[in-house]
Structure 1
């Protein structure tokens, strides 16, 4: 991640400090100093007016202050709203909360050194996300916590039973913590396949599962350079570098394959940050473009495996009729479908504002083929 062109002027500093955010946060117009003497109420009043707080006190006190400010942000009432209205209200609150909490800031010195009392060593975690740092910079404290957490997840990895191994997700790359979609790929009957495409590969987990199942060669694409680097690392660690080719592309690589797999963002809504793009797909753009491009990239007799949750339907964001129309409109037909119920914690959390929809959610693997191709197995 390179330094942005945005500069934030900080009080009691000579000149300006660089602003840096891997998540796309924008610098505040005004910044004041803050330390252990500032109360949570005072901090909340300042950030509520859009003033950034450059923290100069104890690191652990900064964490407590951020939590206290978060508790003071008013939660949106969703009682009496339709499920669709509740979703949009929830998203607005998430966006407002993220903008407000991003105004608590810290300065890092060259080499990603955090000069606060009781501060952890964040040099490696920050280097993984931001790259080299030869000058001081300012970053939102909440983002820094995310960077630290992502570093720990990256070291620990996520166990993937279908691989008998761990996948290590980088910051900003969708982590396969919801294993049901991986299991669908691992358990759906697979014909003899010489070449498969994995569209939007992320960590490379689906490409790895396909390879371990016997696919001779997989070409995996992603539009994110960060995701490609992450997938390269995982593929190398799994000993699959000779069988999986990674290509940075918006969707498809060149050519045709016998099997094309895609797990697109599931919710047709506007992302509020760079990290949201793995979950939110405005107007189902990626989904529609994937379906539209499939006929040109499937070999005769080939199949596409589309992994999709019906949460969008349960939230009133996209109907099943619209999905089926997009499939048929692209010259495709459904030749089979496998379903699974999610087991992630939010599906059983009654305090979640979207609990009604999440508790009934179903994740499906849709098997698709060209309408003119009747050779596909059923």
Structure 2
């Protein structure tokens, strides 16, 4: 018979406690003592492939974070898969990330229809589905979908702002509206019409397009024939460039307001031709890298240093690289705030208690969430395109 001393018993208890701690870490999908594994779907191909910039920028950003030691001692491993902006493909790739790759969370996935296609699945699984590149109002529903949280301002509020500005700047103007025939486009349209309020009769023409269409020439011809003198449109980058170029070539010169989704200088305005983009108005909540007012801004200097070292293939004039950088910083701060006990529940609780800012936000823009309100960004600034860059308009 082997007789255990008190010291032996105490040593055994310590080993057992240590084993339980390690096992708890190992049982948490995507989290080890050394690593945080996260998943993302973006359209590297298909009709919205211009947004593939986001995935590449996120990869470059987390390379920087890992070189700095990671988050609370854990390196971040990003698995970024192509969904071609196709909801069925998004479902397939997301299931792979969760069930085969065992990621801890889904971060930054792009698109309203694509994120809506996976929302119920991820909420049923209890997988954080956060900081999404989607702004449709119905993406934000913490009561019914507490595991899903977008990053950017919602489309309804943004479009509402444009309508109010048109009414203020051009009272009595005939107004035209164009948007994609999908959830995000309809959300923009609903917000815009709500902004018009009792002036809804000023909306004299409306057109939609499907992302599978090659061009929108016929829709633009219809809108021009309405003789509208103000025009708001929502589009993905490909169609945004077509629309801006199209109205220019038609000789139609309405006061044009453009959704943020089509405001990238490199992805939309440069392909459309700078001459065609003069005077258009959009909105922002992030600093514009082409704006000289930020030349000596430390956050801008840090962003440019990151671009130079970690993302040299990226275009410094592409707004999406600023977007991805700020978005990824937000995830890092959420993970830092969650501390060492990185369960999916604690990560989501941290995301629902944000009260901070991240680099590259415009002055006056902060991030704030609660269990009842998942809208991170609730304010935007209007801006006008002049020359080769956006200029902020007075509040």
Same fold at TM > 0.5: no
The structure with more helix, counted as a fraction of residues: 2
Superposition TM-score, scaled by structure 2 size: 0.33
Higher strand share: 1
Between 1 and 2, higher relative CO (CA 8 Å, sep ≥ 6) is seen in 2
